[in-house]
């Protein structure tokens, strides 16, 4: 794609709900939806009206006075950005008088603006420069000697962009972007009149302010006042490729803007249907890891993990992998090896890894990192609704009247969706937050939860069942909906179950910690407040009753009729970029692509016919089962693509023991991650910038990942898997990932209509996409559930066996932070460490005082599984008795602390409940010291002697 700056229509589109309006602009007839601005109407017919303060990402503002027009029958020169069209209106955008007025406005702007266009970093990409040309400005009569703003210190504190107030025209676009698009309200126009200037927080530098570095202000700025440092360093881009972000499950579409082969910046794509032109600090700026000096670009092998790595050619590495897996299977049996697919890789790559294992290894020992995050979502929603996926698209939130957020902190975990949710909340939607922590949503700028239910960790099911008790007991259930859409007998069983007195809010208050009156009020609001939409995260799934909680949520939605239309639904906020896709592609050990069980003869026969081998009808091992089998001595080989189970999975000591017990561990990744410390073969992977494919986001939206540059390691990841498959004797001949998706479509009914061409044509496609829904399915279960009748499932509260007591009196929950992604392998290798250089332990002031802990003190964190040390941060974000930390830094290894307890149905780890003790510490734990030394030795790479 050649360089084409995105077309800016000046003002936002209006929903096409009212009548169309016909008018005449510059003697041309144009018809647009009622409510459209004259500026946008003109732009739609190809006429660009000069503007500075207007952009189609923001509400009209009408301050720059450059977009004036003449309208027959109206006095004066109204601003076209704030004047809506009217039937029969006759507008002129180009007259001698308008030209004179606009030139006068521009003259004033330029009289207080540096005239350094030739050396300005925005030269050629500056709206002010363009407008000066558009209005024919040839001289500035006022001179430059008067009072001005041409001398000011540049704010370079932010690692990714600069703020040069001398270039600022105070158009307020950055302030409005921070307000309307991001919702942080970190920026303001401080001072009045001539003193007006843009200020971050309390006139602070950007880095220390409340700015979250989403980049919306930089994108909105019409000059170089706010500009990416990468543009300053590399120059303006000359071409762009639209692709999909490889960070969280929101799946933002970006324009990768390049100069030649060098990536200059990532700019959120306005036509991206998941992000609608917005971004967060990770996707927008944190892509430098792709060329980090620690990236491994050559394959490496070693005989044992205590030896240094030896660089080898691809041929030798691939042959070694194939021979080792064949040797192990010949020695220990067919089921002695397996593999793990990655939610960071594309659908096509994931499909190939599970195919390699089923077709090549001859077993179903394949699992994916969804095991440790959203596997309960798959189980719970398939059981109740019939489909292992969320029910809505992100746009749906704009129709929600009551939003219930359970166990999720989208501000940090899914920031771009959080911004859209907050926009709806600022418009008046009600908010219920169910979370042990006082997350940002509970109270922040112009957002306040109507109800915060600060439950004790591990009591989700009791709280949701108590809400159901209120809904049923107070006659708030939607009986007509239930009779039509759900199994009525199962509903009655469920209703009787939740109505039992000991499940009431009052009876469970002591257990859950949630005041009964608050819970009742929240239940009433959800049931009666209009469109009720539930959004949930890992605070739901990562419990011993994760699957039960998902089903309890589904029960609530069905009971209130909140499924099957826009504005409602059950919406899992997926963690990694392709969690949904990796699950869709058959990464679980019990099912093929499209969630069909391996024991189903018809499905298996279809795959056997396509792949030409008999397939194992028995389910394979989950990740935790593989590690157990390894320590039992019967599981000996593991192929891991793009995962770091040593850092991300629970009970690190056990993970390490499992890996150490294997004879061949293959890691395919960008960096020597923590798991690679136990690997025998390292296959260097490619970044999302270096390959073609697709990702599927939390909305079931399949989007193209487009190759922006050649892979530094030589191969895209799908090509590497194909090399392994061919070395193992499989006749794979894919020449492009689109052929892999074609195979997925042939074998998977819900993907039957999906192809790269269709996705490219429409920008994205939400599955199911087949004969019944050729262009995909934004909202699921309209008119009926995928499984037929919606299934109410009795969800009994079963307390976790992870108990607090005198030795471990506090409850630890773990999570993530805005600036880092998962184990941090990528973001730790970017300037994002400026915000979060280390994992911190959040502890309530009361608990801190009892232990003599002050802010920034080193503390030990000890559980029944292990011990680590980190610094404390004393905060009321956590309740007394609860502590919280992130798992982004291997130096901390938070998962040394977490235990093997897991969800009863899926073995998703219980990351959110670990009994711990905290106390002052004066140094790293024994485990940390031992691990640091082991990691140092394991990462040695032999240097070949010079010839």
Which positions from 584 to 623 touch another protein by CB under 8 A, shown as an x/- string? -----xx------x-x------------------xxxxx-
User: Closest by alpha carbon to 912, among 891, 881, 884?
Assistant: 884
- The window from 504-512, 575-583, 627-635, 830-838 that contacts another protein (CB under 8 A) reads 627-635
**CA-CA distance, 313 to 118, in Å (whole number)?**
48
Residue closer to another protein, measured from CB, 610 or 634:
634
From the CB of 619, what's the least distance to another protein, in Å?
Answer: 6
| Contact (Cβ atoms closer than 8 angstroms) between residue 413 and residue 816 | yes
**CA-CA distance, 336 to 491, in Å (whole number)?**
44
- Residue 310 lies near another protein (rule: CB under 8 A): no
Q: Rg (Cα) of the chain, in Å, rounded?
A: 29
Residue closer to another protein, measured from CB, 283 or 620:
620
Residue from 44, 117, 232, 794 touching another protein (CB under 8 A): that is 794
- The window from 140-148, 716-724, 794-802, 838-846 that contacts another protein (CB under 8 A) reads 794-802
Residue closer to another protein, measured from CB, 389 or 629:
629
Residue closer to another protein, measured from CB, 505 or 546:
546
SS3 label, residue 898: coil
Structure tokens at 278: 């917005």
Number of chain residues interacting with another protein (CB under 8 A)? 40
**CA-CA distance, 502 to 621, in Å (whole number)?**
38
**CA-CA distance, 477 to 470, in Å (whole number)?**
9
Structure tokens at 786: 């995928």
- Residue 926 lies near another protein (rule: CB under 8 A): no
- Residue 858 lies near another protein (rule: CB under 8 A): no
- Residue 1 lies near another protein (rule: CB under 8 A): no
From the CB of 356, what's the least distance to another protein, in Å?
Answer: 18
- The window from 161-169, 630-638, 709-717, 765-773 that contacts another protein (CB under 8 A) reads 630-638
**CA-CA distance, 852 to 934, in Å (whole number)?**
33
Name the phi and psi angles at 413, rounded to 5.
-85, -35
Structure tokens at 731: 């006749």
CA angle 685, 690, 693 (to 5 degrees): 95
Residue closer to another protein, measured from CB, 53 or 661:
661
Interface positions, 538-557, toward another protein (CB under 8 A): 544-545, 548
Interface positions, 85-144, toward another protein (CB under 8 A): none
**CA-CA distance, 134 to 48, in Å (whole number)?**
10
- Residue 364 lies near another protein (rule: CB under 8 A): yes
Give 24: exposed, middle or buried? Use CB within 10 Å, 0-12, 13-18, 19+: middle
- Residue 383 lies near another protein (rule: CB under 8 A): no
Residue closer to another protein, measured from CB, 276 or 335:
335
SS3 label, residue 650: coil
- Residue 864 lies near another protein (rule: CB under 8 A): yes
**CA-CA distance, 276 to 424, in Å (whole number)?**
15
Residue closer to another protein, measured from CB, 260 or 617:
617
- Residue 625 lies near another protein (rule: CB under 8 A): yes
Residue from 335, 424, 430, 912 touching another protein (CB under 8 A): that is 335
Structure tokens at 770: 């087949």
Structure tokens at 718: 């799908």
Residue closer to another protein, measured from CB, 217 or 905:
905
Measured distance between the N- and C-terminal CA atoms of the chain, rounded to whole angstroms = 45
**CA-CA distance, 354 to 363, in Å (whole number)?**
10
In the β-sheet with 262-268, what is the strand arrangement from edge to edge?
A: 239-244, 253-259, 262-268
- Residue 634 lies near another protein (rule: CB under 8 A): yes
CA 7 to chain centre: 26
**CA-CA distance, 508 to 908, in Å (whole number)?**
26
Residue closer to another protein, measured from CB, 183 or 866:
866
| Contact (Cβ atoms closer than 8 angstroms) between residue 472 and residue 498 | yes
Interface positions, 493-532, toward another protein (CB under 8 A): 497
Name the phi and psi angles at 362, rounded to 5.
75, 20
Structure tokens at 109: 């702007």
From the CB of 447, what's the least distance to another protein, in Å?
Answer: 36
- Residue 196 lies near another protein (rule: CB under 8 A): no
From the CB of 620, what's the least distance to another protein, in Å?
Answer: 6
- Residue 365 lies near another protein (rule: CB under 8 A): yes
- The window from 100-108, 394-402, 883-891, 896-904 that contacts another protein (CB under 8 A) reads 896-904
Residue from 901, 924, 931, 938 touching another protein (CB under 8 A): that is 901
- Residue 466 lies near another protein (rule: CB under 8 A): no
Interface positions, 647-686, toward another protein (CB under 8 A): 651, 654
Residue from 798, 846, 937, 942 touching another protein (CB under 8 A): that is 798
Give the strand pairing for 366-368 and 337-341.
parallel
Residue closer to another protein, measured from CB, 156 or 628:
628
Name the phi and psi angles at 683, rounded to 5.
-110, 115
- Quickly tell me which residue has 């859209």 as its tokens: 420
Tell me if the bond preceding 768 is cis, omega within 30° of 0.
Answer: yes
**CA-CA distance, 204 to 827, in Å (whole number)?**
25
Say how many residues make up the chain.
947
Torsion of CA 202, 205, 210, 211, to 10 degrees: 130
- Residue 446 lies near another protein (rule: CB under 8 A): no
- Residue 899 lies near another protein (rule: CB under 8 A): yes
From the CB of 916, what's the least distance to another protein, in Å?
Answer: 12
- Residue 346 lies near another protein (rule: CB under 8 A): no
- Residue 148 lies near another protein (rule: CB under 8 A): no
From the CB of 636, what's the least distance to another protein, in Å?
Answer: 13
Residue from 71, 661, 786, 865 touching another protein (CB under 8 A): that is 865
- Residue 804 lies near another protein (rule: CB under 8 A): no
Binding site for another protein (CB under 8 A): 335, 364-365, 497, 544-545, 548, 589-590, 597, 599, 618-622, 625, 628-629, 631-632, 634, 651, 654, 794-796, 798, 801-802, 863-865, 899-901, 904-907
């Amino acid at each position: 794609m050649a360089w084409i700056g995105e077309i800016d229509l000046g003002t936002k589109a209006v929903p096409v709900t009212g009548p169309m309006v016909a008018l005449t602009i510059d003697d041309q007839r144009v018809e647009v939806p009622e409510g459209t601005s004259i500026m946008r109407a003109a732009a739609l017919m190809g006429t660009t009206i000069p503007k500075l303060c207007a952009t189609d990402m923001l509400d009209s503002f009408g301050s720059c006075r450059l977009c004036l027009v003449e309208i027959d029958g109206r006095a004066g020169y109204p601003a076209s950005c704030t004047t809506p069209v009217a039937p029969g209106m006759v507008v002129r955008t180009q007259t001698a008088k308008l030209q004179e007025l606009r030139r006068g406005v521009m003259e004033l702007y330029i009289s207080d603006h540096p005239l350094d266009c030739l050396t300005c970093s925005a030269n050629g990409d500056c709206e002010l420069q363009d407008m000066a040309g558009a209005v024919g400005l040839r001289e500035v009569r006022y001179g430059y000697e008067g009072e001005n703003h041409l001398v000011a210190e540049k704010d370079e504190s932010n690692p990714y962009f600069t703020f040069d107030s001398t270039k600022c025209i105070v158009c307020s676009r950055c302030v409005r972007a921070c307000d309307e698009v991001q919702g942080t309200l970190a920026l303001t126009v401080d001072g009045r009149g001539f003193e007006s200037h843009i200020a971050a927080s309390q006139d602070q530098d950007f880095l220390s302010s409340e700015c979250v570095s989403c980049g919306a202000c930089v994108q909105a700025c019409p000059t170089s006042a706010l500009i990416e440092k990468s543009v300053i360093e590399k120059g303006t881009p000359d071409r762009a490729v639209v692709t999909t972000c490889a960070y969280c499950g929101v799946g933002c579409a970006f324009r990768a803007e390049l100069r030649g082969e060098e990536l200059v910046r990532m700019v959120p794509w306005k036509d991206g249907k998941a992000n609608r032109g917005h971004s967060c600090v990770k996707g927008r700026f944190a892509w430098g890891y792709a060329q980090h000096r620690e990236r491994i670009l050559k394959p490496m092998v070693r005989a044992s993990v205590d030896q240094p790595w030896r660089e080898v050619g691809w041929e030798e590495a691939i042959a070694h992998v194939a021979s080792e897996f064949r040797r192990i299977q010949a020695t220990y049996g067919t089921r002695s090896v397996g593999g793990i697919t990655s939610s960071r890789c594309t659908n096509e790559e994931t499909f190939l890894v599970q195919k390699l294992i089923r077709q090549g290894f001859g077993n179903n020992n394949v699992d994916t990192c969804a095991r440790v995050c959203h596997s309960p979502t798959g189980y719970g929603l398939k059981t109740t609704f019939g489909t292992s996926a969320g029910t809505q698209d992100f746009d749906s939130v704009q129709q929600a009247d009551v939003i219930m957020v359970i166990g999720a902190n989208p501000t940090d975990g899914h920031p771009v969706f959080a911004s859209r949710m907050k926009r709806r909340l600022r418009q008046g939607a009600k908010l219920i937050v169910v979370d042990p922590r006082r997350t940002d949503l509970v109270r922040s700028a112009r957002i306040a939860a109507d109800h915060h239910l600060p439950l004790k960790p591990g009591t989700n099911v009791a709280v949701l069942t108590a809400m159901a008790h209120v809904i049923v007991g107070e006659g708030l259930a939607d009986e007509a909906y239930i009779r039509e859409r759900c199994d009525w007998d199962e509903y009655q069983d469920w209703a009787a179950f939740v109505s039992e007195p000991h499940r009431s809010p009052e009876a469970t208050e002591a257990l859950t910690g949630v005041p009964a009156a608050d819970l009742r009020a929240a239940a009433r609001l959800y049931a009666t407040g209009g469109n009720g939409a539930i959004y949930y995260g890992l605070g739901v799934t990562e419990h011993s009753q994760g699957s039960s909680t998902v089903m309890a949520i589904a029960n609530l939605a069905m009971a209130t009729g909140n499924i099957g239309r826009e504005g409602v639904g059950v919406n899992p906020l997926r963690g990694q970029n392709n969690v949904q896709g990796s699950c869709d592609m058959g990464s679980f050990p019990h099912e093929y692509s499209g969630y069909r069980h391996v024991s189903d003869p018809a499905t298996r026969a279809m795959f056997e016919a396509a792949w030409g081998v008999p397939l194992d009808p028995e389910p394979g091992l989950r990740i935790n089962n593989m590690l157990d089998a390894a320590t039992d001595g019967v599981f000996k080989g593991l192929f891991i693509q793009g995962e770091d189970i040593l850092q991300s999975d629970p009970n690190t000591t056990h993970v390490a023991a499992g890996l150490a017990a294997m004879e061949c561990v293959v890691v395919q990744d960008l960096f020597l991650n923590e798991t690679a410390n136990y690997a025998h073969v390292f296959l260097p992977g490619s970044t999302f910038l270096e390959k073609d494919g697709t990702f599927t986001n939390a909305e079931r939206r399949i989007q193209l990942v487009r190759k922006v540059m050649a892979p530094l390691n030589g191969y895209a990841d799908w090509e590497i898997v194909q090399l392994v498959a061919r070395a193992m004797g499989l006749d794979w001949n894919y020449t492009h990932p689109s052929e892999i998706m074609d195979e997925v479509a042939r074998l998977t009914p819900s993907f039957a209509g999906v192809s790269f061409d269709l996705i490219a044509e429409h920008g994205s496609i939400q599955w199911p996409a087949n004969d019944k829904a050729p262009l995909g399915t934004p909202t699921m279960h309209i008119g009926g559930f995928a499984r037929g009748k919606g299934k109410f499932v009795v969800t009994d509260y079963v307390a976790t066996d992870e108990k607090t007591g005198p030795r471990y009196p506090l409850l630890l929950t773990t999570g993530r932070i805005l600036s880092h992604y998962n184990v941090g392998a990528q973001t730790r290798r970017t300037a994002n460490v400026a915000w979060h250089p280390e994992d911190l332990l959040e502890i309530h002031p009361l608990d801190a005082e009892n232990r003599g802990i002050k802010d920034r003190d080193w503390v030990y964190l000890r559980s029944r599984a292990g011990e680590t040390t980190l610094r404390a941060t004393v905060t009321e974000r956590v309740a007394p008795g609860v502590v919280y930390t992130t798992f982004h830094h291997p130096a901390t290894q938070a998962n040394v602390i977490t235990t093997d307890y897991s969800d009863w149905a899926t073995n998703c780890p219980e990351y959110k409940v670990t009994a711990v003790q905290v106390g002052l510490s004066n140094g790293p734990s024994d485990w940390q010291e031992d691990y640091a030394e082991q990691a140092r030795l394991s990462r040695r790479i032999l240097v070949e002697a010079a010839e």
